[in-house]
């Protein structure tokens, strides 16, 4: 089956530090890859996505590149802010044989940024 593995948190960084959250996946077929972010007390929201190999997704200073050879989709940001404190979920999506979207989530990585 499909699976997503994320680095365990929590990750604590000082403001303006460089962020990397690792994500690797196992999937049959050709998945699309996503990073979702969950701010405290809120639902998940899409941060960025990539739909094919070598695509780079980017949003709000965050980036992730779809690496098929290493089955990875690591999230990076050059300079984090306190407002980036949240839980980050890596996810993959494949078209199931039944014709619907099957999404598999990682366990989430909590990021805490301190001033």
Partner 1 sequence: NAGVTQTPKFRVLKTGQSMTLLCAQDMNHEYMYWYRQDPGMGLRLIHYSVGEGTTAKGEVPDGYNVSRLKKQNFLLGLESAAPSQTSVYFCASSYFWDMETGELFFGEGSRLTVL
Q: Classify 35 as helix, strand or coil.
A: strand
Alpha-carbon gap, residue 5 to 105, rounded angstroms: 9
Tell whether residue 101 is a contact of partner 1 (CB under 8 A): yes
Tell whether residue 97 is a contact of partner 1 (CB under 8 A): no
Residues pairing with 23 in the sheet: 6
Tell me which of 43, 69, 97, 115 binds partner 1, using CB under 8 A. 43
Residues pairing with 12 in the sheet: 112
Please, what is the minimum distance in Å from the beta carbon of residue 95 to partner 1? 6
Tell me which of 34, 35, 62, 66 binds partner 1, using CB under 8 A. 34
Tell whether residue 115 is a contact of partner 1 (CB under 8 A): no
74 preceded by a cis bond (ω within 30 of 0)? no
Give 83's DSSP letter: G
Alpha-carbon gap, residue 50 to 74, rounded angstroms: 12
Q: Which span (17-25, 41-49, 58-66, 74-82) binds partner 1, by CB under 8 A?
A: 41-49
Tell me which of 21, 32, 64, 86 binds partner 1, using CB under 8 A. 32
Residues pairing with 94 in the sheet: 102
Task: By CB under 8 A, name the binding residues for partner 1.
Answer: 4, 32, 34, 36, 41-46, 49, 51-52, 89, 93, 95, 98-101, 103, 105-108
């Amino acid at each position: 089956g499909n699976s997503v593995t994320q680095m365990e948190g929590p990750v604590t960084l000082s403001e303006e530090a460089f962020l990397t959250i690792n994500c690797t996946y196992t999937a049959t077929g050709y998945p699309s890859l996503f990073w979702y972010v969950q701010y405290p007390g809120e639902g998940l929201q899409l941060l960025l996505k990539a739909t094919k190999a070598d695509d780079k997704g980017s949003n709000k200073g965050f980036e992730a590149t779809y690496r098929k050879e290493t089955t990875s989709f690591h999230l990076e940001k050059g300079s984090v802010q306190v407002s980036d404190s949240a839980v980050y979920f890596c996810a993959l999506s494949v078209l199931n044989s039944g014709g619907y979207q099957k999404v598999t989530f990682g366990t989430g990585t909590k990021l805490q940024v301190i001033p």
